[in-house]
Amino acid sequence: MEAEVISESTGLVPEVDPLAKFRAEVAAEKEAKPSAMSDRSAERLRQINYEDRVAKQNEEKFAYALTQVEVTPDTLSKLIERCSGKSSDLERRTSKLLFWIQSRGWRLGREIKAPHDISFLSEVTSDEIAMSDSTFAATWRVKKIVAPISDGPKMEDCRAGKECKWLKNRRPRQAPAGQFCTPICRQSFLAVQKRAKAGVRSVVN
């Protein structure tokens, strides 16, 4: 069901460009008169650029404000009502938005950063509105809560594996993918490999 309603890569729907018509007109005039742009087109282009800058600034401000929002059903419900302008089915719409946050690890202000993102992810279909409470809850139940996506490097077991010097419950310490957790682990691991290679050479000789 998820793949049908949302993109796996971004999870967001493309925003419609309200200035597309004007951009097309400017582009058409530039193609018709490549040597010079009319004063009208130049002014229109300046206006488009200005509105683009203002829109971007507003988007950045809104995204930053979202990072300060605590993720609770109550705050999400208020956020959905504000962004969509609708107050109906708020409980179910909140459950859907919370589903994407908890099951995918998406963060407010990062992966979810615009009003239309919030409206889209919380939208309920006519079939979902007609469902019983138990059916809806079962459909949008979070089976496993995923930790929020990290902007840092992906963490994996220390490259030394079982030779890691900081094993805990027989598990190596976490380190950035493909790296050692500490310089000591790296030196010890390389020394073991060096001795192993030396042993193989002696056997061959």
- pLDDT on residue 142: 93
Mean predicted confidence (pLDDT) in 74-80: 95
pLDDT of 127 over the 80 cut: yes
Q: Which residues are within 8 A (CB) of 145 and not within 5 positions of it... i.e. 6 or more apart? A: 102, 103
pLDDT of 1 over the 50 cut: no
29-75, pLDDT tens digit by residue? 666 555 456 788 888 888 999 999 998 899 999 999 999 999 999 99
Q: Check if the beta carbon of residue 160 is closer than 8 Å to that of residue 185.
A: yes
**Position 26 confidence tier, pLDDT thresholds 50, 70, 90:** confident
Three-class SS string for the chain? CHHHHCCCCCCCCCCCCCCHHHHHHHHHHHHHCCCCCCHHHHHHHHHHHHHHHHHHHHHHHHHHHHHCCCCCHHHHHHHHHHHHCCCCCHHHHHHHHHHHHHHHCCCECCCECCHHHHHHHHCCCHHHHHCCHHHHHHHCCCCCCCCCCCCCCCEEECCCHHHCCCCECCECCEEECCCCCCHHHHHHHHHHHHHHHHHHHHHHC
- pLDDT on residue 201: 55
pLDDT of 121 over the 90 cut: yes
Q: Mean pLDDT score of the chain, rounded to an integer?
A: 83
pLDDT of 20 over the 70 cut: yes
Handedness of CA 105, 110, 111, 115 (dihedral sign): positive
> Can you give the pTM of this predicted structure?
0.55
163-190, pLDDT tens digit by residue? 888 888 888 888 888 888 888 888 888 8
**Position 126 confidence tier, pLDDT thresholds 50, 70, 90:** very high
Mean predicted confidence (pLDDT) in 143-163: 84
| Phi (first) and psi of residue 90, to 5 degrees | -65, -35
Q: Which residues are within 8 A (CB) of 150 and not within 5 positions of it... i.e. 6 or more apart? A: none
